[in-house]
């Protein structure tokens, strides 16, 4: 029988009435060995981890990745940690291009490398018992004129997307994204692990409206879900972060959380931005969402243990403001 891990910072009294489960992203603990990072998070009292597949943390391209995955699965189980698999490693595929290649790259072979990474992530997630696999679209190529292939153009009469349109290259990019994601969604369906696409500022798929456009293009496949980053909502969505949570509720499969300021895509420690967190957590609890809400501070990895220790008490204090019975009130 696996012993219950010792936790020095257990969930405080008064937060058990809501279903929220907090994790911390390993992309914010990049200077730690994965085993040390997991032990730290369990000791601090986190419920889980957002595991970014990277060369230093469960390299998805390693020849012995299956054996490594089994070892990590045992460790997660021993520590009592849930997991979501994230695929936002900066240079895991290309040492010279941040987040490259993407699902939108001009070269079909490059797009295939990203697809292969995501399918590997789905398999790893299934072996870990993860809640979801996170991904994002990528940015439009610097010279998108090559995308203007008549075979890829959207029907100009299609009103499904507010921006569907006058820009043939952008219309073609949406078609390309849908086509490239299709084999990943097939793998996710087969594995029983949802694919949670994240709206990312500056990317083709940047907003909740963009997510719904993709969903409609693909025919609303059950395996397609949403990663909602609370900071991104503050950064550029027309709705408040709490209203974004309510609007996204039916598709939520993964949540990332950090502070942020309006109009500035900079992930900040809690209290350094503009977000009012108790209403956000109340809205999240009301949706009935029970997967992980993961702290996302990749640029603070140099002091990762400090920010991990600071973040959880902040979230617990914010969660204590949730009124009793808030969970489950949203269908």
pLDDT tens for 204-217 read 999 999 999 999 99
| Pairwise CA distance, residues 27 & 87, whole Å | 10
Which residue did the predictor score with more confidence, 252 or 1?
Answer: 252
Q: Residue 154 pLDDT more than 70?
A: no
Q: What is the pLDDT of residue 166?
A: 54
Q: What are the backbone dihedrals phi and psi of residue 45, each rounded to the nearest 5 degrees, phi first?
A: 105, 10
Q: What is the DSSP letter of 173?
A: H
Average pLDDT rounded to a whole number, residues 173-177: 97
pLDDT tens, 93-103? 888 988 889 99
- Looking at every residue in the chain, the average pLDDT score rounds to 88
**Predicted confidence (pLDDT) at residue 327 exceeds the cutoff of 80:** no
Place of tokens 């949706």: 287
31-69 confidence digits (pLDDT tens): 999 999 999 999 999 999 999 999 999 999 999 999 999
Q: Which two tokens stand for residue 30?
A: 């990049």
| Length of the chain, in residues | 331
Peptide bond into 208 cis (omega under 30): no
- What does each C-alpha distance from 31 to 43, 46, 49 come to in angstroms? 18, 19, 16
Q: Which residues fall within 8 angstroms of residue 9, CB to CB, at 6 or more apart?
A: 43, 44, 45, 309, 312, 313
pLDDT band at 329 (very low <50, low <70, confident <90, very high): very low
Mapped onto helix, strand or coil, the DSSP state of residue 203 is coil
- Give me the pLDDT at residue 5, please: 41
Mean pLDDT throughout 133-152?
Answer: 68
Query: pLDDT-based confidence at 6, cuts 50/70/90?
Result: very low
Reported pTM = 0.88
Name residues whose C-beta falls within 8 Å of residue 161's C-beta, 6 or more positions apart in sequence: 154, 174, 209, 210, 213, 216
17 CB-near residues (< 8 Å, 6+ apart): 322, 324, 325, 327
């Amino acid at each position: 029988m696996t012993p219950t891990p010792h936790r020095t910072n257990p969930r405080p009294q008064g937060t058990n009435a809501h279903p929220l489960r907090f994790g911390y992203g390993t992309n914010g603990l990049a200077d730690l060995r994965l085993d040390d990072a997991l032990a730290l998070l369990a000791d601090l009292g986190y419920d889980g981890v957002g595991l970014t597949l990277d060369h230093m943390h469960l390299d998805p391209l390693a020849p012995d990745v299956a054996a490594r995955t089994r070892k990590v699965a045992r460790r997660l189980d021993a520590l009592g940690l849930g997991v979501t698999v994230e695929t936002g490693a900066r240079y895991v595929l290309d040492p010279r291009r941040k987040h490259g290649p993407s699902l939108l790259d001009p070269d079909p072979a490059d797009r295939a490398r990203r697809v292969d990474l995501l399918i590997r992530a789905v398999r790893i997630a299934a072996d870990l018992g993860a809640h979801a696999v996170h991904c994002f679209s990528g940015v439009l190529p610097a010279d998108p004129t090559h995308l203007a292939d008549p075979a890829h153009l959207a029907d100009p009469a299609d009103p499904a997307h507010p921006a569907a349109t006058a820009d043939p290259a952008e219309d073609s990019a949406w078609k390309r994204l849908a086509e490239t994601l299709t084999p990943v969604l097939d793998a996710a369906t087969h594995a029983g692990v949802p694919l949670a696409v994240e709206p990312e500022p500056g990317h083709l798929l940047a907003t909740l409206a963009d997510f719904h456009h993709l969903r409609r293009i693909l025919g609303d496949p059950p395996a397609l879900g949403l990663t909602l980053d609370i900071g991104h909502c503050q950064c550029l969505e027309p709705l408040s972060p709490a209203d974004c949570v309510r609007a996204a509720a039916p598709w939520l499969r993964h949540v990332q959380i950090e502070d942020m300021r309006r109009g500035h895509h900079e992930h900040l420690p809690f209290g350094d931005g503009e977000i009012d967190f108790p209403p956000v957590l109340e809205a999240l609890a009301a949706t009935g969402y029970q997967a992980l809400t993961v702290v996302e501070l990749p640029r603070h990895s140099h002091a990762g243990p400090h920010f991990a220790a600071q973040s959880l008490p902040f979230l617990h204090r914010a969660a204590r403001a949730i009124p009793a019975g808030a969970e489950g009130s949203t269908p």
